[in-house]
Amino acid sequence: MSKFKLLKKEECVPNLHKFVVSVPDIARKVEPGQFVLIMVDEKSERIPFTLADWDEKDGTITFFVQEVGLSTTKMAFMEEKDSFYSIVGPLGEPAYVDNFGTVVLGGGCFGLGAIYSVAKKLKDLGNNIITILEAKNESRLYYEDEFRAFSDEVIFVTSDGSKGEKGHIYDVLEEMIVSQGRKIDHIKVIGCNVMMSKVSDVTKSLGNIPTYATVSTIMVDGTGMCGCCRLTYDGKTKFACVDGPEFDAHKINWDELIGIRNTSYIREESLSLQNFSPQCRSLAKILAKMNEEESI
């Protein structure tokens, strides 16, 4: 089955991989900010990934994968020319874009790559783009050159100060707004929920600067059918997969999202990761090859 073939895979920094997969129908239709749901094999969960880039001509889509649990580890073990069992998309509403003026884009972990398509689109619309890329240390930063091509300014921030500023995205933002008195019209962040919630707190307290976050929720169908991805937004229940995944960060009930909804399966997640024996795939391949040779 050559559906959903993995054409290119590259480990940009340890445990973070760039995937290029052939899905022409999605490449034709996707817009910045949309995501796909992926099943690695028949037994996999359905896991969401934001599309970072695509090429309509080649029919390919690109996304970044941070290894955190079972499915993402399975993906890390895939090799070029392997195929995914299922890729569904593009899902979710496209990111809110316009000519805002000066836009700050903040990306952390997989968000460094994920926010790329939005950056490109906003640049096309005539915005002044400031990109802030956050990582633990210098060795975890990637996609620098790509962002330089579309940003008027690229700022690095690392927890240990090994590259650029020391601290987090929200520290840089605070510095820019409070100390430097710079005017920012719009902020977008993609990354882990905790980072985004902190950015939201900062920008809210600094005069409600419009801030949009791409939330990470657990998902199943991605079409609004199950309600698993629900969050409280502006006092109402919303589904991240159809109403989002990008929301006005100031209206999200972050405590509920981070503390309750996304930690529903910690026990099961660690159990299934422990059960996973990474040799399986390579072993299976060798066995298949041996069988093949025998039959010849």
Partner 1 sequence: MKTKERMQILRSEMPCQPPEVRGKNFREVPYGYTEEMAIQEAQRCLNCKKPKCVEGCPVRVPIPEFITLIQEGKLFEAAKKIKEKNVLPAVCGRVCPQEVQCEELCIRGKKGEPVAIGHLERFVADYERLSGYISSPVTVKKNSKKIAIVGSGPSGLTTAGDLIKLGYEVTVFEAFHIGGGVLVYGIPEFRLPKSVVEYEIQNLENQGVKFVYDNVVGRIRTIDDLLSHDSFDAVYIGVGAGLPVFMNIPGENLKGVYSSNEYLTRSNLMKAYLFPDYDTPLVLGKNVVVVGGGNVAMDSARTALRLGADNVYIVYRRSREQMPARAEEIHHAEEEGIQFNLLSNPVEILGDEFGRINKVKCQRYKLGEPDKSGRARPIPIEGEYFELETDLIIISIGNNANPLITMTTSDLEVNKWGNIVTDEMGRTSKPFVYAGGDIVTGAATVISAMGAGRRAASAIHEDLFPEKDEEVDFITVPKEKLKIKEIAISPESPRLKIILSNVSDKPLDQVKVTITHVHDFFENALLETTISRWTPEEEHEFSCPRMQENEKEYLLSVKDINGKLFSKIIVVEEENK
Ligand X SMILES: Cc1cc2nc3c(=O)[nH]c(=O)nc-3n(C[C@H](O)[C@H](O)[C@H](O)COP(=O)(O)OP(=O)(O)OC[C@H]3O[C@@H](n4cnc5c(N)ncnc54)[C@H](O)[C@@H]3O)c2cc1C
Residue ranges in contact with ligand FES by CB under 6 A = 219-222, 224-229, 239, 241
Dist CA 255 CA 193 (whole Å): 10
**Beta strand extents in 72-228 (DSSP E only):** 86-91, 102-108, 128-135, 153-158, 165-166, 186-190, 211-214
**How near is the Cβ of 289 to ligand X at its closest, in Å?**
28
Phi, psi of 178 (to 5 degrees): -80, -55
126 forms part of the interface with partner 1 (CB under 8 A): no
Asked if residue 202 lies in contact with residue 173, where contact means CB atoms within 8 angstroms, the answer is: yes
String marking each residue 59-98 x if it binds partner 1 according to CB under 8 A: -----------xx-------------xxxxxxx-------
Helices (H), the chain: 24-29, 70-76, 111-114, 116-124, 144-150, 169-174, 193-205, 240-243, 254-259, 266-275, 279-295
Q: Which of 285, 118, 266 is nearest to 189 (CA)?
A: 118
Q: Which residues contact 274 (CB under 8 A, 6 or more apart)?
A: none
Residues from 32 through 51 that contact ligand X (CB under 6 A)? 35, 45, 47-50
Please say which residue, 241 or 257, places its beta carbon nearer to ligand FES.
Answer: 241
Please say which residue, 184 or 211, places its beta carbon nearer to ligand X.
Answer: 211
**How near is the Cβ of 98 to partner 1 at its closest, in Å?**
21
Dist CA 236 CA 258 (whole Å): 17
68 forms part of the interface with ligand X (CB under 6 A): yes
Please say which residue, 111 or 244, places its beta carbon nearer to ligand FES.
Answer: 244
Asked if residue 3 lies in contact with residue 42, where contact means CB atoms within 8 angstroms, the answer is: no
231 forms part of the interface with partner 1 (CB under 8 A): yes
Binds 206: which of ligand X, partner 1, ligand FES, none (CB < 5-8 Å by kind): none
233 forms part of the interface with ligand X (CB under 6 A): no
Asked if residue 189 lies in contact with residue 210, where contact means CB atoms within 8 angstroms, the answer is: no
Residue selected from 114, 119, 209, 231 as contacting ligand X according to rule CB under 6 A: 114
Binds 256: which of ligand FES, ligand X, partner 1, none (CB < 5-8 Å by kind): partner 1
**How near is the Cβ of 21 to partner 1 at its closest, in Å?**
12
Please report, as a single letter, which amino acid is at residue 253.
N
Dist CA 250 CA 173 (whole Å): 16
Please say which residue, 40 or 229, places its beta carbon nearer to ligand FES.
Answer: 229
The residues of the shown chain that bind ligand X, judged by CB under 6 A, are: 35, 45, 47-50, 63-66, 68-72, 110, 114, 216-219, 223, 245, 262-263, 269, 273
The residues of the shown chain that bind partner 1, judged by CB under 8 A, are: 25-26, 29, 39, 43-46, 70-71, 85-91, 220-228, 230-232, 237, 242, 256, 259-261, 263-265, 268-269, 271-272, 275
